[in-house]
Structure 1
Amino acid sequence: MSALLDLVRPDLRDFAGYKSARSEALRGDVWLNANESAWANPADAQGHSRRYPDPQPPALRARLADVYGVGPDQLLIGRGSDEAIDLLVRALCVPGQDAIVVTPPVFGMYVVCARLQGARIIQVPLVDGDAGLAADLDAIGEAALGQGAKLVFLCSPSNPAGSAIPLDGIVALAGALEGRALVVVDEAYGEFADGASATTLLDAHANVVVLRTLSKAHALAAARIGVVIGDTELIAVLQRCQAPYPVPTPCAELALAGLSDPALAQTRERVAVVRRERERLLYALGGLPGVRRVYPSQGNYLLVRFDDPGRAFRALLSAGVVVRDQRAAPQLGDALRITIGSPEQNDRVIAALDAREQAA
């Protein structure tokens, strides 16, 4: 058994999982092995939906692997990044014994999945400095080693902070935790960032895992397509822990079409617009009275501190603009997170906040 599989829960290392009817390599033209309907639903013109989908649609898996520059057997498709997070926690953390490391303020699903699994939660807060809210990798490593963590979740770019983690820092952390913990790099917003993906580290560091999603840059949030990318042995374990038929056929078809060469070209164009608008909004908001600080961001959003965040939130709502209220998050009692919209939408944000000050 490899050192990587030693990190998996002992009771799941040889777990076979559920073998669905569609997972068997059988061929025929009369399918009577899954208790499916022999007739299509009237709402299903093509009649495809009466059949269970392939657990891992081969064409979509191959296309995603090509997009992310990895092998198909290094990648598992699931219901957004959320399912990938849940699978990792369930597969590695023994309830009441093992722990995860998180870096608040950060995406809340890491903690939610840990609590549902009964895993301990170790918090190493982001450090607020001149460059923004940044991960303290030395403190993260010490906490993981000292408190028995199996998983370290690094959100890069971080949501909501917007900061990215340099690859050399991830390499150093992965080396320090080799044989002790997985370093999970959540790149949900990776398309908007400047640096290379942590997938470039996988060949040299088996304990690095990367999460990607089609929900953000690819504009397919409703399709719920996310992937976990990592060592082939780990991917095989996670697939055995996954519920049957995780990828609905309509979602797989939409995702495959959304990853065509023309669609990817449009995605790159949209990302370029977002990056330009991100800089414009950064400077525009930073010049408004009542704005305490705008953090630089590698994502498709900006974290903004206000003298009166409640008033700013209400002013935006009055203008029909809904943003994310971050005031309940650690360290962010005066902050809102504003997604980068179209140029016209961003103009409405600026106008609403400027009008708020003019009316004061």
Structure 2
Amino acid sequence: MSASVLELVRPDLRGFAGYSSARSAKVQGEVWLNANESPWANPADPTANCRRYPAPQPQPLREALAALYGCAPEQLLIGRGSDEAIDLLVRALCRPGRDAVVVTPPVFGMYAVSARLQDAPLREVPLRDGADGLQADIDAIIETAQASGARLVFLCSPSNPAGSGIVRADIERTARALAGQALVVVDEAYIEFSDQSSAVDLLSRHENLAVLRTLSKAHALAAARIGCVIAAPALIAVLRALQAPYPVPQPCADLALAALAPEALARTAERVQQVRGERDRLQAALAGVAGVRRVYPSQGNFVLVRFEDAEAAWQALLAAGVVVRDQRATPQLGDALRISIGTPEQNARVLAALGARREQAA
């Protein structure tokens, strides 16, 4: 890690080795008696795969994810969804009470939660609501980060719940402006549903850049909790030292690896295209529903909708057995609901519950 990136890590953690688990040791043998594991499998585990502790970073999965995302395996750390990566980054870079975190509300709440748990000052730069939707104010983000001495800047692209993306030129501009001061983290949880390309290839030019990816959305593995952070190899090593000993359960790793096989990836790509088509159809239909104030453009697998009477819309959907995300407690979104894109039948049910005309729901 070059000196400028190392300076972003908390001084007390730069040489931190972390916990050395039984699976961390580079030893080989036939009889493994070094981890106090049961010598017999559990009766409920016919494969006997679960009696042993798993590899901290299963190499086959790490290589498969690196191939999928276009990076080197040593640039990637697997964790429990993107949530764990967010927490690790805040803990690694932010000294309690000193180093700030910049976020762009309304946005994914885990950035603020992790900052609060670390006692890192939170600096908010609200999205601007304009004709092209809720958009990140890059100039204000840079100014706020510089003025507050922020150590971390989270750019959610596509943004949840806004659905808006951040162009690569603005990501690069932010990284350049904050070089040597802050790590710019691009959360790409929904990028598979977007037209924009990943920022992973920008890491070679900007060492103060990191990217978050997940298998929870497009790859339909939310329960497996497989996500990763992609960054400079030495920063990945620091984050690994902070991580719990066995972050990737073996059954989840096996499932994720199977999901990254060529046939599975091809099927996933088909489903992503279907979601994109359904998103366009749902947006167009919702725009014509009485009581809908605005349907925001979206690059994710959801749409954000403002209502004249959001409570009535919420209750109508619940009465039809449809549960959506109530955004009304979120600042700036007191009249909004976020609707995930479902199957064609589920989307038709949403439209019917909201009183869409029959020809719109077809």
Give the TM-score taking structure 2 as reference length: 0.98
* Paired position in structure 2 for 1:112: 113
The secondary structure found in structure 2 opposite 1:158 is coil
Question: C-alpha separation between the residues in 2 aligned to 1:181 and 1:94?
Answer: 13
The secondary structure found in structure 1 opposite 2:180 is coil
Whether contact under 8 Å (2:76, 2:228) holds in the other structure is: yes
Question: C-alpha separation between the residues in 2 aligned to 1:106 and 1:330?
Answer: 10
Percent identity reads 69
Question: Once the 2 structures are TM-superposed, how far is the Cα of residue 213 of structure 1 from its aligned partner?
Answer: 0.3
For structure 2, the residue ranges without an aligned partner over 5 or more in a row are: 358-362
Whether contact under 8 Å (2:286, 2:356) holds in the other structure is: no
Map 1:237-248 → 2, pairs under 5 A: 237-248=238-249
Question: C-alpha separation between the residues in 2 aligned to 1:159 and 1:76?
Answer: 23
AA aligned opposite 1:284: A
Question: C-alpha separation between the residues in 1 aligned to 2:46 and 2:277?
Answer: 43
* Paired position in structure 2 for 1:93: 94
* Paired position in structure 1 for 2:12: 11
* Paired position in structure 2 for 1:127: 128
CA distance 1:193–1:47, shift in 2 (3 Å): same
Question: Once the 2 structures are TM-superposed, how far is the Cα of residue 94 of structure 1 from its aligned partner?
Answer: 0.3
Question: Once the 2 structures are TM-superposed, how far is the Cα of residue 108 of structure 1 from its aligned partner?
Answer: 0.3
Whether contact under 8 Å (2:289, 2:356) holds in the other structure is: no
The secondary structure found in structure 2 opposite 1:114 is helix
Whether contact under 8 Å (2:325, 2:338) holds in the other structure is: yes
CA RMSD of aligned residues (A): 1.1
CA distance 1:355–1:129, shift in 2 (3 Å): closer
Q: Deviations over 1:127-183 (max 9, x none)?
A: 000000000000000000000100000100000000000000000110000000010
Map 1:41-60 → 2, pairs under 5 A: 41-60=42-61
* Paired position in structure 2 for 1:353: 354
* Paired position in structure 2 for 1:149: 150
Question: Once the 2 structures are TM-superposed, how far is the Cα of residue 79 of structure 1 from its aligned partner?
Answer: 0.2
Deviation >2 Å, runs of 4+? none
AA aligned opposite 1:157: P
Question: Once the 2 structures are TM-superposed, how far is the Cα of residue 355 of structure 1 from its aligned partner?
Answer: 6.4
Question: Once the 2 structures are TM-superposed, how far is the Cα of residue 261 of structure 1 from its aligned partner?
Answer: 0.5
* Paired position in structure 1 for 2:235: 234
- How many residues align structurally? 357
Map 1:132-281 → 2, pairs under 5 A: 132-281=133-282
Question: C-alpha separation between the residues in 2 aligned to 1:330 and 1:287?
Answer: 26
Map 1:70-81 → 2, pairs under 5 A: 70-81=71-82
Question: C-alpha separation between the residues in 1 aligned to 2:299 and 2:314?
Answer: 23
Question: C-alpha separation between the residues in 2 aligned to 1:83 and 1:161?
Answer: 22
AA aligned opposite 1:103: T
Question: Once the 2 structures are TM-superposed, how far is the Cα of residue 2 of structure 1 from its aligned partner?
Answer: 1.8
For structure 1, the residue ranges without an aligned partner over 5 or more in a row are: none
Question: C-alpha separation between the residues in 2 aligned to 1:307 and 1:69?
Answer: 44
The secondary structure found in structure 2 opposite 1:49 is coil
